[in-house]
Amino acid sequence: MSTPLLRQAYSAELFQEEGTTLIKLLSQHLENHISEKSDTVINWSTPNDELRFWEQYATERHTTEEFFGTVLKRSIATHNPKYIGHQISPTVPVSSLATLLSATLNNGMAVYEMGAAATAIEKVVVNVFTKAIGYGKNADGFLTSGGTLANLTALIAARKAIANDDVWNDGYANKLAILVSEEAHYCVDRAARIMGLGDAGIIKVPVNEHFKIEVNKLDLAYKLAIDKGFEVIAVVGSAPSTSSGMHDNLESLAAFAKQNNIWFHVDGAHGGAAIFSKKYKHLLKGIEQADSIAIDGHKMMATSSITTALLFKRSNDTYTTFSQKAHYLWDKNDDLEWYNLAKRTFECTKSMMSIRFFSIINAFGTQFFDDYVTTLYDLGKTFAGIIELNPEFDLAMQPETNIVCFRFTGNLRTDEIDSINQSIRRQLLEDGEFYIVSTYLKGQFYLRVTIMNVFTTESHFHSLLNKIISIKNHSIINV
Ranges for all domains in the chain classified under CATH 3.40.640.10: 100-364
pLDDT at residue 328, rounded to an integer? 39
Please name the residues in contact with 286: beta carbons below 8 A apart, sequence gap of 6 or more: 249, 250, 251, 252, 253, 254
More confident residue, 161 or 327: 161
Confidence tier at 323 by pLDDT (50, 70, 90) = low
Confidence tier at 478 by pLDDT (50, 70, 90) = very low
Pick the CATH number of 367-474 from 1.10.230.10, 3.90.1150.10, 3.40.50.10280, 3.40.50.300: 3.90.1150.10
Lowest-confidence pick of 8-17, 131-140, 202-211, 317-326: 317-326
pLDDT at residue 366, rounded to an integer? 98
pLDDT at residue 472, rounded to an integer? 87
- Burial (Cβ within 10 Å: 0-12, 13-18, ≥19) of residue 257: buried
Please, what is the end-to-end C-alpha distance for the chain in angstroms? 72
Lowest-confidence pick of 132-136, 388-392, 469-473: 469-473
Q: Which residues is 308 bridged to in the sheet?
A: 144, 296
Q: Which residues is 264 bridged to in the sheet?
A: 235
Stated pTM of the model? 0.94
Confidence tier at 475 by pLDDT (50, 70, 90) = low
Q: Is the pLDDT of residue 298 over 50?
A: yes
pLDDT at residue 74, rounded to an integer? 96
Output the CA–CA distances (angstroms, integers) from residue 432 to 12, 58, 233, 317, in the order listed.
39, 26, 45, 46
Q: Which long-range contacts (CB under 8 A, 24 or more apart) does 28-35 make?
A: 29/72, 29/77, 29/79, 30/79, 30/93, 33/77, 33/79, 33/80, 33/81, 34/79, 34/80, 34/81, 34/455
- Collapsing DSSP to helix, strand or coil, 146 comes out as coil
Single-letter amino acid code for the residue at 472: K
pLDDT at residue 335, rounded to an integer? 54
Average pLDDT, the chain: 92
Please name the residues in contact with 31: beta carbons below 8 A apart, sequence gap of 6 or more: 37
Q: Is the pLDDT of residue 159 over 60?
A: yes
Q: Is the pLDDT of residue 347 over 90?
A: no
Please give the full DSSP string across 422-470, using - where no structure is assigned: HHHHHHHHHH-S-B-EEEEETTEEEEEEE---TT--HHHHHHHHHHHHH
Q: Is the pLDDT of residue 332 over 70?
A: no
Q: How many CB atoms lie within 10 A of CB 468?
A: 25
pLDDT in tens, 216-235: 999 999 999 999 999 999 99
pLDDT in tens, 358-377: 999 999 999 999 999 999 99
Q: Assess contact for 81 and 446: CB atoms under 8 A.
A: no
**Which whole number is the average pLDDT over 179-188?**
87
pLDDT in tens, 85-110: 999 999 999 999 999 999 999 998 88
pLDDT at residue 479, rounded to an integer? 45
Give the C-alpha separation, 154 to 264, whole Å: 10
pLDDT in tens, 63-76: 999 999 999 999 99
pLDDT at residue 374, rounded to an integer? 98
Give the C-alpha separation, 247 to 229, whole Å: 30
pLDDT in tens, 408-464: 999 889 999 999 999 999 999 999 999 999 999 989 999 999 999 999 999 999 999
pLDDT at residue 271, rounded to an integer? 97
pLDDT at residue 68, rounded to an integer? 97
- Collapsing DSSP to helix, strand or coil, 366 comes out as coil
Lowest-confidence pick of 314-328, 379-393, 449-463: 314-328
Fold of the domain built from segment(s) 100-364: Aspartate Aminotransferase; domain 2 (3.40.640)
Q: Which residues is 295 bridged to in the sheet?
A: 309
Q: Assess contact for 291 and 158: CB atoms under 8 A.
A: yes
Ranges for all domains in the chain classified under CATH 3.90.1150.10: 367-474
pLDDT at residue 326, rounded to an integer? 39
Give the C-alpha separation, 305 to 324, whole Å: 31
Q: Is the pLDDT of residue 23 over 80?
A: yes
Q: Is the pLDDT of residue 324 over 70?
A: no
